[in-house]
Amino acid sequence: MLVLFETAAGYAIFKVLDESKLQEVDSLWKEFETPEKANKVVKLKHWEIPGHNRGLGSGHGHDGREDGEESEEGPEESGG
């Protein structure tokens, strides 16, 4: 199961590792008291910054440029 979590900083998609923990909704907060406990329940799969197409959690780093913006070196030339 995947869970979407929205914050002012961006969107996170987590994979739920232990769905049985979701049954006890009144005490679910206890599973997130420490990072170590939270890591047993969920795993970050993707992080998305609003307005950007590159996610940080997927191994694609965001380089600070807006989408389509060229680097100072200019566009990459095709070798052919």
Question: What's the confidence (pLDDT) of residue 52?
Answer: 74
The first and second tokens of residue 72, run together, are 């100072």
Helix, strand and coil percent figures for the chain, each rounded to 5: 20, 25, 50
User: Has this prediction a pTM greater than 0.85?
Assistant: no
Question: What's the confidence (pLDDT) of residue 17?
Answer: 95
Percentage of the residues of the chain whose pLDDT score is greater than 70: 65
Looking at per-residue pLDDT, the higher value among 64 and 75 belongs to: 75
Residue 37 has pLDDT above 80, yes or no: yes
